[in-house]
Amino acid sequence: DGVVRRNSRVRLLRDNVVVWTGELDSLKRFKDDVKEVKGGFECGLSLKNNNDIQEGDQLEIFEVTEVARTL
């Protein structure tokens, strides 16, 4: 989708191995708190209950959607 939303879930990958999965704590564009940032724009973010981000780490941002089962 190319959009990071404040309520998104995050996977932190180090050397292509998932080392942490959780939620975004904050999302900022310049110094303003924002609800979402579109692809191609810089932003700042912090992770809830994790401050162990190292150079070379990758973040996968995703959303979990519940869908009712049908027969």
Domain that holds residue 58: 3-62
Q: Is residue 67 part of a domain?
A: no
Say if residues 22 and 50 touch (Cβ distance below 8 Å): yes
The reported pLDDT for the residue numbered 17 is 96
- What pLDDT is stored for residue 71 in this prediction? 86
Give residue 46's pLDDT: 92
Buried b (16+ CB within 10 A) or exposed e, 51-66: eeeeeeeeeebeeeee
Mean of the pLDDT values across residues 29-48? 93
Residue 64's pLDDT is what?
A: 87
Q: What is the tally of structural domains in the chain?
A: 1
Res. 18: pLDDT tops 90? yes
The CATH number given to whatever domain includes residue 48 is 2.40.30.10
Whole-number mean pLDDT of the chain?
92
- The length of the chain is 71
For tokens 């190319």, name the residue: 2
Q: Tell whether the model's pLDDT for residue 1 goes beyond 80.
A: no
